[in-house]
Amino acid sequence: MSEGETIAVFYERFAVGQIHLSASGALSFAYDPRWLATRGNFPLSLTLPLRRGLFEEGIILPWLANLLPEEEQLAALSRALGLSTSDALALLREIGGDTAGAISIGEPSVRNDWTYEALQDHYGKPTESQALARHFEDLGKRPFLAGENGVRLSLAGGQKKTALTVLNEDGKPKLGLPQPRDRLAIPKNGAPSTIIIKPDNPRLPGIAENEAYCLTLAGLVGISVAECTILEADGRKALAVARYDRSLRKDGSLRRLHQEDFAQANGIYPGQKYEQGTIPGLDLARLLRTGDHLPPADALALLDQMIFNILVANTDAHAKNYSVLLGNGVAMAPLYDVSSVLHWDHVNQYHAQKIAGKRRKPADIAPRHWNEIAHSAGLNASALRRRTGEIIDAMVAHRVEATERISSLAGATPEMVEHVAQLVEGNALRVGGRLRGLDGG
């Protein structure tokens, strides 16, 4: 980017504020006075409350960086666009039309300009399955179709994924998972996506079944989750997750809902999403204390998500796998990224956050660790242990239903689903057995 530039941040056609790059190369952000005076406005972040004045680089840059993909995805994206991986603002100016949440960077998102190109038409394939497989090949070279005319979208995280829109029989965008007569489409010219699709991964065999089972089980337990299913892609499979940060207006058009992950909400960079590292990241106490911004029921929902992640051995439950919705107040977002590590011996087996001050594996969790989690976050220890036991009981009670639901999906391998279910239940029961021994149950 050239120095001395100002880049606008938009919610649809409304200017939310401006990011300024000074002659010295420093970034800052200020809300547009009209946005501050607009009824129904919302902050970009818990770290960027609605007020006049400048927010310095140390606040705005972590928020921007967390809108981008990471690792191999970021490197491939940078190569495709001819930009530095460290220039978050320049990258988002190119791809920041449809991000996690409601904001577009650099250009307004005007409803009359929104268009959708069916995936089959784009690739000239006779079936949706073949078109999706071809799309996965494309993503390996150009994450999020970077450089494609009219396509400006970005998803955070290191996992390969795509954001598409589900169209109904009439060719209109819809919410929820695709049904047999629906079509998948590429959103263009600022149009919102409605579904996130994660392709299978040979390094993580069974990942689609694993995540689909864990999300389904969480929903049956009573935890708010993103809807999911498994899609076939010409011999491959993928997990499809309906976006919860989208809604429909009365006229049938899509509306983005604003959200941010816990890395953004706590002002840390993507590289700090795990607690361990040369620059410490979000620890379990700070993660749970993010719930101080939430209404009581939502703070309890955060607690349930944390408990469930430990019980299923989701050691990848880092700061970017928890989010809040920012609109009419602050609300906890549904659980959206959860799988059990127990199926993969070659994957890091330690939880994303230290538990009771040390790195711990799923099998290491003991009653005293729950007590120390509670103490560090200002919670009641006996209430935390009791809630953990209730979730374990619900997991066991709903295991059969969750297994049957996922095993019945086209493309799912029932043996894989059953194997994951056994591993998850075994870990939960081991934790529960130790708790009951402590509490005399």
pLDDT tens per residue, range 363-389 = 889 999 999 999 999 999 999 999 999
Query: Which 8-state DSSP code applies to residue 155?
Result: -
Widest CA span of the chain, in angstroms? 67
Question: Which of the listed residues 242, 272, 291 is the one where a domain comes to its end?
Answer: 242
Chain segment 272-303, per-residue pLDDT in tens: 998 887 788 899 999 999 999 999 999 999 99
Catalytic site residue 32? no
Please tell me the distance from the alpha carbon of residue 231 to that of residue 227, in angstroms, as a whole number: 13
Which band of pLDDT confidence, cut at 50, 70 and 90, is reported for residue 56? very high
C-beta separation of 115 from 191 below 8 A? yes
Per-residue confidence (pLDDT) for residue 85, from 0 to 100: 62
Residue 362 lies in a domain: yes
**C-alpha of 382 from chain center:** 31
CATH code of 263's domain: 1.10.1070
- 93 plus 212 within the same structural domain: no
Distance CA 165, CA 148 (A): 16
Residues 304 and 398 in one domain: yes
Residue 152 has pLDDT above 60, yes or no: no
The answer to whether residue 420 is domain-embedded is: yes
Q: Residue 23 pLDDT more than 90?
A: no
Please tell me whether residues 143 and 98 are part of one structural domain.
Answer: no
Q: What is the pLDDT of residue 195?
A: 95
Mean pLDDT of all residues in 25-42: 94
**Considering 283, 304, 316, 337, which one is annotated as catalytic?**
316
Pair 40, 165 in one domain: no
Are 292 and 231 contained in the same domain? Answer: no
What is the pTM for the complete model shown? 0.91
The answer to the question of residue 204 being in a domain is: yes
Q: Take residue 194 and report the two structure tokens written for it.
A: 């409605």
Residue 263 neighbours by CB under 8 Å, 6+ apart: 62, 66, 269, 270, 272, 273, 282, 319, 320
18 and 119 assigned to the same domain? no
The mean pLDDT value for 267-276 works out to 90
Q: How far is the C-alpha of 411 from the C-alpha of 87, rounded, in Å?
A: 40
User: Per-residue b/e over 185-219, b at no fewer than 16 CB within 10 Å?
Assistant: bbbbbbbbbbbbbbbbeeebebbbbbbbbbbbbbb
Domain count, the chain: 3
Q: Torsions phi, psi of 8, nearest 5?
A: -85, 150
Helix (H, G, I), strand (E, B) or coil at 83: coil
In a domain, 297, yes or no: yes
pLDDT per position as a tens digit, 296-317: 999 999 999 999 999 999 999 9
Residue 251 belongs to some domain of the structure: no
Distance of CA 3 to the CA centre of its chain: 33
Q: Are residues 389 and 272 in the same domain?
A: yes
Domain span at 18: 6-105
Q: What is the pLDDT of residues 91-111, one digit of tens each?
A: 777 666 667 778 888 888 888
- The type of residue at 396 is V
What does the pLDDT read at residue 306? 97
Q: What pLDDT is stored for residue 407 in this prediction?
A: 98
Residue 249 domain flag: no
Least confident stretch, 93-102, 181-190, 257-266? 93-102
Look-up of token digits 């997990």: 239
Nearest alpha carbon to residue 197 among 103, 128, 113: 128
Q: In angstroms, what is the C-alpha Rg of the chain?
A: 22
Residues 263 and 401 occupy one common structural domain: yes
Question: How far, in Å, CA of 315 to CA of 151, rounded?
Answer: 34
For the chain, the average pLDDT equals 88
Residues 312 and 193 in one domain: no
221-233 pLDDT, tens digit each = 999 999 999 999 9
The answer to the question of residue 370 being in a domain is yes
Three-state DSSP state, 392? helix
Residue 288 amino acid letter: L
CA distance 123 to 57: 42
CA distance 302 to 282: 15
Where a domain ends, among 207, 242, 277?
A: 242
Q: Region 154-160: what's the mean pLDDT?
A: 58
Position 150 scores a pLDDT of 45
Confidence of residue 243 (pLDDT cuts 50, 70, 90): very high
Closest by CA to 370, choosing from 359, 383, 351, 361, is 383
H/E element, 237: strand 236-242
Cβ-based neighbour number of residue 4 at 10 Å? 11
- The answer to whether residue 253 is domain-embedded is no
Beta strand extents in 52-180 (DSSP E only)? 55-56, 103-105, 115-118, 162-167, 173-174
Q: Identify whether residues 324 and 214 lie together within a single domain.
A: no
Q: Are residues 285 and 138 in the same domain?
A: no
Q: Could you tell me if 80 and 116 lie in one domain? A: no
CA dihedral 69, 70, 76, 82 (to 10 degrees): 70
Rounded mean pLDDT, 171-188: 94
Q: Which of 87, 105, 123 is the C-terminal boundary of a domain?
A: 105
Half-sphere exposure (Cβ direction) of 296: Cα atoms closer than 13 Å: 1
